[in-house]
Amino acid sequence: MARELLARRGTVDIGPPDPARHAFFLDFDGTLVDIAARPSDVVLDAGTTDLLRALKQASDGALAIVSGRPLDDIAALTAAIGPALVGTHGVEIRHEDVRSAVSPKDQAVLDGVGRRLSELALTHGLLLEMKPGAVALHYRGRADLADLCQDAVAAAARDAELRILAGNMVCEAVLTGYDKGRAIKTLMAEAPFRGRIPLMIGDDITDEDGFRAAQSLGGTGVSIGRPESCARLVCPDRHWALDWLREGLARHA
């Protein structure tokens, strides 16, 4: 590892993880792929696909992609690997079976929030994404609109029981009670994750719940480039994190 860690907290082991002992929880956008102008523009490159396949095999399947994207979306992007999946920040889980927490009543509430945001999205050419369990307003390429978008999402969701998540170039209203941390705890209670040491890697504020969950279960959070994170390790960029995983595979082969 030529490049330095940005932060290391406590007595955490920074040695590359051992796929025989760890369970891997990986965010998608900004972690496995670069952030693109539009969510539909991303492609998982061949090298990362090979890495994920090898991790899944070496860990007996203890690999989950933990994303804010809808489950169907992340399933299509990772179809060549077939990992366990967490979609819409924990509202949806696919592992053995598919689970979704969204009731028709929830969806009606979310549809109302979407309608209240549609004019703003249209006016500024922003992407308004209706997901199962969330409404996301993306402002990639228009960082100047961050405050406006965050205020608008908060106002549109004011009367609903929704959680406001301000991520990287996106602001979302998400069903309450679901987050990446809860999803990690759910999967960690099931084979083949159960009994392993959880490792959560992510680049955004929405990954903080995941870091906390992994660390509460004796594992480690790895934040990509956010020194203010609660993660015990903060690495400089996503390539550091992927190289670290590759080194773990090579060292423990």
Residues tagged active-site: 27
Sign of CA dihedral 108, 133, 188, 234: negative
Residue corresponding to tokens 């009994």? 195
Rounded to whole angstroms, how far apart are CA atoms 191 and 110?
A: 33
The encoded tokens of residue 194 equal: 């159960």
The minimum distance between CB 202 and Mg ion, in angstroms, equals 5
Q: Pick from 23, 24, 27, 173: which binds Mg ion (CB under 5 A)?
A: 27
The minimum distance between CB 149 and Mg ion, in angstroms, equals 18
Q: Which is nearer to Mg ion, 92 or 204 (CB)?
A: 204
Distances (CA, A) of 190 to 36, 42, 228: 33, 30, 31
Residues within window 106-145 making contact with Mg ion, judged by CB under 5 A: none
CB 227 within 8 A of CB 6: yes
The minimum distance between CB 232 and Mg ion, in angstroms, equals 18
The minimum distance between CB 204 and Mg ion, in angstroms, equals 4
Q: Which stretch binds Mg ion (CB under 5 A): 23-31, 53-61, 70-78, 243-251?
A: 23-31
Q: Pick from 17, 30, 90, 114: which binds Mg ion (CB under 5 A)?
A: 30
Q: Which is nearer to Mg ion, 29 or 106 (CB)?
A: 29
Q: Which is nearer to Mg ion, 27 or 92 (CB)?
A: 27
Residue (of 182, 177, 167, 193) closest to 86 by Cα position: 182
Secondary structure letter of residue 2 according to DSSP: -
Q: Pick from 16, 17, 26, 29: which binds Mg ion (CB under 5 A)?
A: 29
- # residues contacting Mg ion (CB under 5 A): 5
The minimum distance between CB 146 and Mg ion, in angstroms, equals 17
Q: Which is nearer to Mg ion, 175 or 201 (CB)?
A: 201
Residues in a beta bridge with 188? none
Burial degree of 143 (CB within 10 A; 0-12, 13-18, 19+): exposed
Residues within window 52-71 making contact with Mg ion, judged by CB under 5 A: none
Q: Which stretch binds Mg ion (CB under 5 A): 28-36, 51-59, 96-104, 185-193?
A: 28-36
Neighbours of 189 (CB within 10 A): 9
Closest-approach residue to Mg ion (CB): 30
Residue (of 129, 126, 175, 176) closest to 148 by Cα position: 126
177 dihedral zone (left: phi>0; alpha: psi -120 to 50; beta): left
Q: Binding mask 188-217 vs Mg ion (x if CB under 5 A, - otherwise)?
A: ---------------xx-------------
Q: Which is nearer to Mg ion, 120 or 221 (CB)?
A: 221
Q: Which residues bind Mg ion (CB under 5 A)?
A: 27, 29-30, 203-204
